[in-house]
Amino acid sequence: MKKFPLYFGYLTLILMALSMLYPFLVMLNLSFVPDNEIFSQAGNFFYKGLTLDNYKNVFEQIPLSRYFFNSLLVALITTIGQVVFASMAGYAFARLKFPERNVLFLIILITMLVPPQVNIIPLFFLMRELHLIDTYSALILPGMFGGFGIFLMRQYFLGFPKELEEAAKIDGCNLFENFFKIALPLALPTVVTLALFTFVTTWNSFMWPLIVTNSESMRTLPVGLAIFKGSFREVTLWGDLLACSVICTIPVIGVFLLGKRYFINDIMQGGVKE
């Protein structure tokens, strides 16, 4: 009888996972169905007339490869910058003592309460004054700094054992060697978690790339997909849209699978208290 609640929990989790996976499976299946038969075959997972025409049409109608490259480049550089700056700042706030440390950290926490939409207009004027509109710099720089990453890394380094730092100092390590050789490698699960959140957020970003890009060669995938959908005047090519949506999800799934082990370890470490 004691095992019944455990089995019930597993069953609940499986049902929840299937409910979230089902829309993606439907999208994946219909992306191979001819456009004129999508609505008639919406619930048929065993349709025999699957085709790659939808994927071919997408690459022929829009510069999808360019959109994909832009999104991937922006997401990767933004993620690397966010991880580097957030980990260094988090370590400084957690382990170093400097004037007004708590006040500065409180200001960073307050910035997390400000909706991102509020910052769009000031950021746009700033990028315009710096002559960065319609450039990769405008797409990348605002996302490289954020309060969430600093907060996340600071919380990890607060629980970092001081004995390891003291032992490293005895061995002759300076501050930078202590950070890069001792603290940062041990923080890998938290770093990967931050990288996953940053990559997914940047990859799915729509409003900011829409505002700061003008030319077609600088558009990212979400912007290109929205313009592609709005370019049809009489009929919407749902098959092509579904194919494009599947392509958009591939990097996110790949990045999550690569960092899944570290992500789960970070969650488990966060849930264990001595």
CATH number at 105 reads: 1.10.3720.10
Q: What is the pLDDT of residue 258?
A: 83
Distance CA 73, CA 221 (A): 11
pLDDT band of residue 267 (cuts 50, 70, 90) is low
Answer whether residue 3 is part of any domain: no
Q: Which of 252, 147, 250 is nearest to 202 (CA)?
A: 252
Distance CA 79, CA 144 (A): 7
pTM for the model: 0.84
Answer whether residue 267 is part of any domain: yes
Q: What is the pLDDT of residue 272?
A: 43
pLDDT at 13 over 50: yes
More confident residue, 88 or 229: 88
Which range has highest mean pLDDT (34-38, 184-188, 199-203, 214-218)? 199-203
Answer whether residue 18 is part of any domain: no
Distance CA 135, CA 213 (A): 7
Contact 86, 239 (CB under 8 A): no
More confident residue, 271 or 152: 152
pLDDT band of residue 28 (cuts 50, 70, 90) is confident
pLDDT band of residue 234 (cuts 50, 70, 90) is low
Distance CA 124, CA 129 (A): 9
Domain housing 148: 25-271
pLDDT at 230 over 50: yes
Q: What is the pLDDT of residue 7?
A: 75
Contact 187, 153 (CB under 8 A): yes
Contact 73, 181 (CB under 8 A): no
C-alpha count within 13 angstroms, C-beta hemisphere, residue 199: 22
The structural domain count of the chain equals 1
Answer whether residue 254 is part of any domain: yes
pLDDT band of residue 77 (cuts 50, 70, 90) is very high
Answer whether residue 14 is part of any domain: no
Answer whether residue 15 is part of any domain: no
Q: What is the pLDDT of residue 125?
A: 93
pLDDT mean over 170-190: 85
Answer whether residue 194 is part of any domain: yes
Q: Which of 193, 211, 39, 37 is nearest to 133 (CA)?
A: 211
Q: What is the pLDDT of residue 274?
A: 44
Answer whether residue 106 is part of any domain: yes
pLDDT mean over 62-80: 93
Q: Which of 46-55, 155-164, 182-191 has the lowest mean pLDDT?
A: 46-55
More confident residue, 196 or 165: 196
pLDDT band of residue 271 (cuts 50, 70, 90) is very low
Token pair for residue 50?
């699957």
Average model confidence (pLDDT) across the chain: 84
